[in-house]
């Protein structure tokens, strides 16, 4: 876990009902990231936490701005902090 970081992000736009969570899980798996992704039913955003090497998180954050082809991402609100190491894989969860 040395050198790993945590990315916390909220994705705003047309991001629910378009396969965003599944798409994010596949991208995270491809990049070797762990964490979770969930819909926020209160404001129709998608929230996620991902942990891994900074370069993989950089790539993931860039991908989040595009999203799946059926989504329209208006903005990504992201922050970084040290990784907790508490995840074993990247999962789709419920809020």
| Known active-site residue 39 | yes
| Known active-site residue 62 | no
6, 25, 27, 39: which one is catalytic? 39
6, 21, 25, 27: which one is catalytic? 21
Using a 10 angstrom Cβ sphere, with 0-12 exposed, 13-18 middle and 19 or more buried, the burial of residue 78 is middle
Active site residues: 21, 39
């Amino acid at each position: 876990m040395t050198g790993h970081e945590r990315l916390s992000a909220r994705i705003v736009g047309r991001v629910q009902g378009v396969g965003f969570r599944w798409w994010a899980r596949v991208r995270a798996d491809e990049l070797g990231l762990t964490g979770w992704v969930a819909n926020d039913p209160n404001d129709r955003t998608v929230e996620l936490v991902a942990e891994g090497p900074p370069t993989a998180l950089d790539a993931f954050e860039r991908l989040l701005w595009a999203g799946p082809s059926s989504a329209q991402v208006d903005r990504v609100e992201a922050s970084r902090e040290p990784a907790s190491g508490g995840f074993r894989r990247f999962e789709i969860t419920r809020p």
